[in-house]
Structure 1
Amino acid sequence: MLIVEWIGIGVLALLLAFGVLVLRRALFVRAGGTIRLSVRTSSAVPERGWSNGLGRFVGDDLRWYRIFSFALRPKRTLTRTGLVIVSRRSPAGQEAYSLPEDWVILRCSWPGRETVEIAMAATTVTGFLSWLESAPPGEVSTRLGRESTR
C-alpha cells in the first residue's frame, strides 16, 4: 500500500506543477504587453548564454521571466530610466543556432550598471523602441550606436 501512496503523491505533485505553469501562462496572456524575449545571462563564452523567456512591459520596467521556471517574479527587470542602446546586430556564429534568424540583438547599458544583451524579433524592436522613447522628457537618454549590416 505504501507504493500506491507514493505514486499518488507523485502524480499530485506533477499535476500541481502543471497547474502552476498553466496559471502563469494565463496571467501573461491575459495581461497583455507581453513579448518573446531572450536575454544573454552569461558572457563568459562568446556567442553563448542565451535564455528564452517572456518580457512584460509594466510602467517604466520591462520584466523578463524565464520560460521554463515556476517563479512568479521576474528573473531580471530592465528599467528605461537612463537606458542606452549601445549597438544593434543580427545573430552570428553559434547564436544563429539558438536564436531565430529574423531576431535582432540589442546591447543595452545604464550609467554605473552592467551591460546586458537582449534579443527579440525584428518586428518587436519597433515596439520596444517606442516604449523606450515614450518616457517623460528628460528621464530617458537613448542613443543607438552603429548598426551592423545584415
Structure 2
Amino acid sequence: MHELLVSLEVAGILAALLLAFLVAVVLRRRRLTARLGTFDCSVRQARGTRRRWTLGVARYELDRLDWYRTFSLSPRPSCTYARRALAVTLFRDAEGQELLAVQPGAIVVECRYEGTEIELAMTSDAYTGFASWLESAPPGQNVNVA
C-alpha cells in the first residue's frame, strides 16, 4: 500500500510540473505576442538530413528578425536573422506533409540567409508585412524579395 502512495505522489508531482511548464509557455507566448510586430511563424532550416518544421513566433526588430520557439522558456530568441543577409527566393502554398506541420492556411517562404537555405511558414497577411519589412531596409542594404 505504501508503494502505491509513493507512486501516486510521484505521478502527482510530475503532473504539477507539466502543468507549471505549460502555464509558463502560455504566459511567455502572451508576453512575446503583446508587442507590435510579432506573428506566428514556423521555421525549417537546411541542417543535416532531417529537416523538421518548428513552431514559433517571429518579431521584427529594426535590423533583424528574431524568432522564438513556441515550446521554450528562454527569454532570448532561438534564431536571429539580419535583414541585410536575408533574401526571399520563392514563396508558395504549403503542400503535402507540410500542411500537417504548419499553421492552417500558411504559405512557405523560401529564403537564403548567409548561404544557408531556410523556410518560413506564415499566413499570407504576415508575408505581406514580412515583404514590406524587407523592402523598407535603409538604402545600401541588398534586399531581395520574390
Match of 1:74 among 77, 98, 122: 77
What is the CA RMSD across the aligned residues, in angstroms?
2.7
| CA distance in structure 1 between the aligned counterparts of 2:41 and 2:21, rounded to whole angstroms | 23
Q: TM-score, normalised by structure 2?
A: 0.78
Confirm whether residue 28 of structure 1 aligns to residue 32 of structure 2: yes
Q: 1:108-119 counterparts in 2 under 5 A? A: 108-110=111-113, 112-119=114-121
Q: Deviations over 1:47-88 (max 9, x none)?
A: x51111111112111111111112221111111113211111
Matched to 2:106, the amino acid is W
Would you say the 8 A contact 2:65–2:81 is kept in 1? yes
SS at match of 1:31: coil
Alignment gaps of 5+ in structure 2: 1-5
Residue pair 1:42, 1:49 contacting (<8 A) in 2 also: no
Which residue number corresponds to residue 59 of structure 1? 62
AA aligned to 2:21 is A
Which residue of structure 2 aligns with residue 147 of structure 1? none
Output the CA distance in 1 between the equivalents of 2:103 and 2:22.
27
Greater fraction helix: 2
1:138 to 125, 131, 140: 140
Secondary structure of residue in 1 paired with 2:43: strand
Q: Where does the alignment leave 5 or more consecutive residues of structure 1 unmatched?
A: 145-150
For the structure 1 residues 91 and 136, does the alpha-carbon distance in structure 2 shift closer, same or farther, using more than 3 Å as the test?
Answer: same
Shift of 1:89: 1.4
Task: For 2:10 and 2:103, locate their aligned partners in 1 and report how far apart those are by CA, in whole Å.
Answer: 42
Check conservation: 1:85, 1:108, Cα contact below 8 A.
yes
Shift in Å at residue 16 of structure 1? Answer: 4.8
Shift of 1:141: 2.2
For residue 99 of structure 1, report the CA deviation from its aligned partner.
Answer: 2.6
Q: What residue is the counterpart of 2:131 in the other structure?
A: 129
User: 2:131 is aligned with what amino acid?
Assistant: L
